[in-house]
């Protein structure tokens, strides 16, 4: 029966669900539909969404606004979703500030708008709906949290690597491959120590490069704590 339905053509609700419930654009949704034996063009999917973007019976209060690609790198539009009802409200023909501002001004009941970190939509919201709260959407909240975490870790990476690599290594217990890696680790540590010692003496990066012959990139990364190595012996399965 599923095969027969596919031959007859996918129903409108299925196409709409593929396109927007998964928050995809026309082209990725068309590729996914083809894998489901429902071949359909990306333009058709976008037309289906436009037809099914009915005006909500109740006034809008909480919406999300973002851009999407009609054709990546060439033409972009704007999608507005009702976050309370989890469905698209409208598709705007471009992502220009004036277009978004005009649409938002026609919906004064909106109290909260979730958007990306770009300034275009933010200015449009501030001008059209000065009373509305602007919040970051879920993806950008996670992106901001991830970036803050990585920044915090990078600032203390030298101490973290030193703590992780503080165990005493017995070269006699290393395999041949591990010994080669350990010898390289010792050479890098010697290089790092020499550069840091010269830096403590007050020498500039240029002076250290001239005295040691190391590259400017290497000296800069060592001084900034971006080249502290850790040597760890892989634990044997017999030791677990």
**Each residue's pLDDT tens digit, 199-227:** 899 899 999 999 889 999 989 888 887 77
pLDDT value at residue 158: 66
Sequence spans of domains, the chain: 1-52, 53-155, 168-223
Lookup result for tokens 């339905």: 5
Phi, psi dihedrals of residue 167, rounded to the nearest 5° = -70, 145
Strands of 87-92's sheet, edge to edge? 87-92, 75-82, 62-71, 112-115, 133-136
The CATH code of the domain at 53-155 is 3.30.420
Calculate mean pLDDT across residues 73-98.
89
Q: Is the pLDDT of residue 19 over 50?
A: no
What proportion of the chain, given as a percentage, has pLDDT over 70? 75
The residue ranges of DSSP E strands in 116-178, in sequence order, are 133-136
pLDDT band for position 99 (50/70/90)? very high
Which pLDDT belongs to residue 157? 67
Q: Is the dihedral of CA 181, 186, 188, 189 positive or negative?
A: positive
Question: Quick one: pLDDT at residue 238?
Answer: 35
Please indicate whether residue 95 or residue 232 has the higher confidence score (pLDDT): 95
Between residues 8 and 231, which one has the greater pLDDT? Answer: 231
Mean pLDDT of 21-42: 67
Percent of the chain past pLDDT 90, that is, above it, reads 18
Mean local confidence (pLDDT), 162-180: 72
- Cα Rg of the chain, angstroms: 29
Residue 125 pLDDT greater than 80, yes or no: yes
């Amino acid at each position: 029966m599923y095969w027969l339905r596919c031959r007859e053509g996918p129903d409108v609700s299925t196409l709409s669900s593929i396109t927007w419930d998964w928050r995809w654009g026309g082209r990725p949704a068309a590729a996914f539909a083809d894998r489901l034996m429902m071949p359909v063009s990306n333009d058709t999917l976008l037309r289906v969404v436009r037809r099914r973007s009915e005006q909500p019976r109740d006034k809008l209060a909480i919406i999300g606004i973002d851009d999407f690609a009609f054709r990546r790198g060439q033409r972009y539009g704007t999608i507005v979703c009702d976050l309370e009802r989890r469905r698209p409200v409208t598709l705007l023909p471009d992502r220009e500030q004036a277009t978004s501002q005009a649409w938002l001004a026609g919906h004064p009941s909106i109290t909260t708008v979730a958007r990306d970190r770009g300034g275009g939509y933010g200015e449009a919201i501030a001008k059209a709906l000065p009373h509305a709260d602007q919040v970051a959407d879920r993806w950008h909240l996670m992106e901001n949290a991830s970036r803050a975490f990585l920044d915090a870790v990078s600032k203390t990476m030298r101490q973290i690597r030193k703590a992780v690599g503080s165990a005493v290594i017995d070269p006699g217990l290393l395999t041949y491959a591990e010994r080669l890696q350990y010898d390289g680790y010792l050479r890098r540590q010697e290089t790092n120590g020499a550069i840091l010692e010269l830096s403590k003496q007050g020498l500039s990066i240029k002076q250290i490069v001239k005295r040691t012959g190391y590259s400017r990139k290497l000296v800069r990364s060592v001084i900034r704590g971006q080249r502290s190595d850790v040597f760890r012996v892989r634990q044997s399965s017999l030791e677990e």
